[in-house]
Structure 1
Amino acid sequence: MSSNQIIQESLTLSPPAGQVKVGIIGGAGYTGGELLRILINHPNVEIAFVNSSSNAGNYIYQVHTDLFGDTDLKFSSDLHDDIDVLFLCVGHGDAKKFLDANPVAAKVKIIDLSQDFRLTQNSKFKNPHITADPEPAFREFVYGLPELNRESIKTAKNIANPGCFATCLQLGLLPLAAKGLLTNEVHITATTGSTGAGQKATDTTHFTWRNDNLSVYKVFDHQHLNEIGESLAQLQPNGVGELNFVPYRGDYTRGIIASMYTESDLSEEEALKLYSDYYASHPFTHVTSRNIDLKQVVNTNKCFIQVKKHGNKLFILSIIDNLTKGASGQAVQNMNLVFGLEETTGLKLKAVAF
């Protein structure tokens, strides 16, 4: 019996007709696990297979232990094209390697959570497995930030899911760029939880080093600045002020808190209206002048933005969960848009609160 047969027999109920059939590559990592937690309870999804070569044959709950009692699916080493969408939950550089090595039918849409296809110069992937003329020579990826590219996402065949820092920072700055007001330098300090570094153990993710500790890294040259720059230029093509970004490693597991400030002639009331108007039609991003904190968004697909004025400086605080809105939740949000589902389907998640 094949692993795929095991997976299919483990489903206790046949999914209703019209479901989105999903395949997942790299299901054993942090983003794969978070994606599974969302999709298992998504009313319009059938999970066809969850690929993990190192865990093939094991129950998913043996790796993601919190899913014990929620699913009897097993990991598989097999792949097939009897799906509607393929999520690539692999490391940076590995998505391209996977597509180089494995033919994926043109009818299958791809949502990639790595950074391989986010930048314009990398957004076209030459298909090395063309078998017939109707097969497209390239897969072209749309940058999957719904608050920027919602209409393009709806008609996209392939999505490059944004980075976690990139999502948090862009949502804090897009309204200014949309009005051509991002002309002065922006000073940014942002702290992320340990899950932002991925599941592979390193010196800086080891508990004894990370706990009760705080450190900076990639000062002024974090890789997400490239995709942020492209998105801001999309709205403000004549150029934006320099982004001075200092990222921190936090001694907690989930969430990003980013503080940004820039000189601005806007009053606080004008800035609040600008931000509120920009995000009025976007269900997950909410604007306030009140103090906000990470526990309000951890375990949700929300972004909260606080806008305050201090003298001639506009202060913006942006907070997200790096694994949900910063990764897997946003990937599901993109899937919903691609398949014509309500954008919030499966994503009305509860914050931890305490």
Structure 2
Amino acid sequence: MTPKISIGIVGGAGYTGGELIRLLINHPYANITFIHSRSNAGKPVSSIHQDLVGETPLTFAAELSNDIDVLFLCVGHGEARKFLQENTIAPNVKIIDLSQDFRLQPNTTIDNRSFVYGLPELNKEAIRKANNIANPGCFATAIQLGLLPLAKAGLLEHVHTTGITGSTGAGQGLSTTSHFSWRANNIQAYKTLTHQHVKEISQSLKQLQSGFGEADASGKTTSELNFIPWRGDFTRGIFISSQIDCDLSETELQAMYEDFYQDAPFTVISKEPVFLKQAVNNNKCVIQLEKVGSKLVVHSVIDNLLKGASGQAVQNMNLIFGLDECAGLRLKANYF
């Protein structure tokens, strides 16, 4: 019998923490030892995540414990590095960080810990050997999975990407643009060409296509990602459309993508038009290729809280501990 993994969670009261709890209480090889939250210490987890009533007796803890195998950090950007600076985590405890604090070179280390970028479709073997994982961003995951096969073939030049995300992508803290009265019947572009995930995406594409995003000797950039994100009138999910110039036929491209993702259980290549509900409430990324003349458009859809956050974090945990990559992640799409 496979022994259960002992798990600690820091930041369990937010969206990603809640999704992580929902996954792990039903994971066959997981046992949650503590869920840390100073502001909710002593309260039942189901008093905050009210859909979990009757599902778990766990309460939020004020104290940390090193009697665990892995620690998930579900805290805000900038808070994970601060947390590790202020708290002593035993060297044998593995860490999976869901913030952006350790994703970008050269800032992937702290003390004696070095973080591996946790996109399984790109770094699976490195993840299996890792002790610390920097979980990818949600937009970054959806865009990268749509572009990685093209980067491996050296086909990326100027990429024009548009993506729309639901209100949960903004986190649980209240803001004007997360209020129902603002979101309802409304769409808005934001962080045009400046979104923080662009650097993360470019770093990964450069792993497969040398020089992506860099200027040549004349100072001209021959390959780059131009990304415009949108806020949408729905709660969860991301829909991405990336456009490039490409001379390959749709048949050749389809074969390229299927070959690249043949060992990726959660990345699916569809020959039919994709839509958001195919990915909501599960850990899949569904990709569709459309070729019109010399233009290629790659559509990719994910759930921002699962494949874009907590689901991918559990996928990384499975890989680190030598489990079935899909353990605890066989989820039903929210189709209706």
So what's the TM-score if we normalise by structure 2? 0.96
* Partner residue in 1 for 2:206: 233
CA–CA distance in structure 1, aligned partners of residues 224 and 184 of structure 2: 33
CA distance in structure 2 between the partners assigned to 1:264 and 1:17 by the alignment: 47
1:196-215 equivalence runs, <5 A: 196-215=169-188
Deviations 1:214-245 (A, max 9, x none): 00100001000011000000001133522111
Q: Which residue of 1 aligns with 2:323?
A: 341
Unaligned 5+ runs, structure 2: 214-222
Q: CA deviation at 1:157?
A: 0.5
Q: 1:308 Cα shift?
A: 1.4
The amino acid that maps onto 2:208 is L
2:14 corresponds to: 29
Please give the residue correspondences for 1:94-113 in structure 2 after superposition, counting only pairs within 5 Å: 94-113=79-98
1:141 & 1:238 partners in 2: Cα distance?
23
Q: Within 5 Å, which residues of 2 pair with 1:126-145?
A: 126=111, 138-145=112-119
Could you say which residue in structure 2 is the equivalent of 1:50?
35
Q: Deviations over 1:310-342 (max 9, x none)?
A: 010011000000000000000000000000000
Shift of 1:210: 1.1
Matches of 2:159 and 2:211, distance apart in 1? 16
TM-score (norm 1): 0.91
Indicate if the aligned counterparts of 1:186 and 1:244 stay in contact, CA closer than 8 A: yes
Runs of 4+ in 1 over 4 A off after TM superposition: none
> Which amino acid letter does the alignment assign opposite residue 214 of structure 1?
I
Distance 1:50 1:180, change over 3 A: same
CA distance in 2, matches of 1:284, 1:225: 23
- Aligned amino acid, residue 337 of structure 1: L
Take 1:17 and 1:101, find their aligned partners in 2: how far apart are those partners? 34
Q: Secondary structure of 2:60's match? A: coil
Which residue does the alignment assign to 2:219? none
Cα distance in 2, alignment partners of residues 48 and 210 from structure 1: 37
CA contact (8 A) 2:103 2:200 kept: yes
Q: Matches of 1:170 and 1:300 in 2, distance apart?
A: 18
Q: Is the 8 A contact 2:202 2:212 kept in 1?
A: no
| CA separation of 1:168 and 1:57: change in aligned 2, threshold 3 A | same
Equivalent-residue separation in structure 2 for 1:190 and 1:17 (angstroms): 40
Distance in 2 between residues matched to 1:236 and 1:185, nearest whole Å: 13
CA distance in 2, matches of 1:289, 1:310: 15
CA distance in 2, matches of 1:206, 1:169: 26
> How much does 1:203 deviate?
1.0
Gaps of at least 5 residues in structure 1 are 1-15, 127-137
Q: What letter matches 1:76 in structure 2?
A: A
Q: Is the 8 A contact 2:212 2:224 kept in 1?
A: no
Within-5 A mapping of 1:86-101 = 86-101=71-86
Q: Is 1:149–2:123 an aligned residue pair?
A: yes
The amino acid that maps onto 2:154 is G
| Contact 2:78/2:99, CA 8 A, preserved across alignment | yes
Q: Find the counterpart in structure 1 of residue 235 from structure 2.
A: 253
1:161 corresponds to: 135
Q: 2-side partners of 1:200 and 1:239: how far apart?
A: 35
For 1:72 and 1:17, the matched residues in 2 are separated by 24
User: What's 1:3 paired with?
Assistant: none
CA distance in 1 between counterparts of 2:82 and 2:295 reads: 45
Is this contact kept in 1: 2:2–2:29, CA < 8 A? Answer: no
Matches within 5 A, 1:298-313: 298-313=280-295
Q: How far apart, in 1, do the equivalents of 2:190 and 2:107 lie?
A: 25
Q: Give the Cα separation in 2 of the matches to 1:185 and 1:68.
A: 49
> Structure 2 counterpart of 1:140, which letter?
S
Distance apart, 1:17 and its partner CA:
6.9
Query: What SS class does the counterpart of residue 120 from structure 1 fall into?
Result: coil
Indicate conservation of the 8 Å contact 1:42/1:346, yes or no.
Answer: yes
Alignment-derived partner of residue 144 in structure 2: 170
Q: Is the 8 A contact 2:102 2:109 kept in 1?
A: yes
Length, aligned pairs only: 327
Once residues 211 and 22 of structure 2 are traced to their aligned partners in structure 1, the CA distance between those partners, rounded to angstroms, is 42
1 CA distance for matches of 2:211 and 2:242?
Answer: 21
* 2: CA distance, partners of 1:17 / 1:304: 31
Between the two proteins, what is the percent identity of the paired residues?
59
Distance 2:53 2:85 in 1: 35
RMSD (Å) for aligned C-alpha atoms: 0.9
Instruction: Pick the aligned partner of 2:192 from 197, 202, 219.
Output: 219
* Residue of structure 2 equivalent to 1:75: 60
1:19-53 deviations in Å (ceiling 9; x for gaps) = 10000000000000000000000000010000011
Q: Distance in 1 between matches of 2:168 and 2:290?
A: 29
AA matched with 2:264: H
